[in-house]
Amino acid sequence: MLPYLTAFLLLSGLPPEPQAFPSPSVQGPGPTIQLVAEKEPNAKIVRVTAAQIQSEQIAGAWFYTLKVNAVNNTSGTVNKVFINYEIYAPNSQKLLFAGKAALQPQNLLTGEEGRAQLMVNQGGRVKVTLVEWISPEKGYKTYEQMQEFP
pLDDT at 30: 54
For residue range 48-105, list pLDDT tens digits in order. 999 999 999 999 999 999 999 999 999 999 999 999 999 999 999 999 999 999 999 9
Is 1 inside any structural domain?
Answer: no
> Does residue 11 lie within any of the structural domains?
no
Whole-angstrom distance, CA of residue 58 vs CA of residue 33: 64
78 touches 135 (CB < 8 A): yes
d(CA 2, CA 73): 44
Q: So what's the pLDDT on residue 150?
A: 78
Give a yes or no: residue 120 inside a domain: yes
The CATH number given to whatever domain includes residue 141 is 2.60.40.1820
Digit-coded pLDDT (tens) for 98-127: 999 999 999 999 999 999 999 998 899 999
Q: Which domain holds residue 136?
A: 46-149
**109-133 as b/e, with b when 16 or more CB fall inside 10 Å?**
eeeeebebeeebeebbbbbbeebbb
Pairing relationship of beta strands 113-120 and 61-72 according to DSSP bridges:
antiparallel
Residue type, 63: F
Position 34 scores a pLDDT of: 45
Number of domains observed in the structure of the chain: 1
pLDDT of residue 21: 42
> Is residue 23, in this structure, part of any structural domain at all?
no
pLDDT for residue 136: 86
Residue 130 has pLDDT above 90, yes or no: yes
For residue 118, is it within any domain? yes
Instruction: Judge whether 63 lies within some domain.
Output: yes
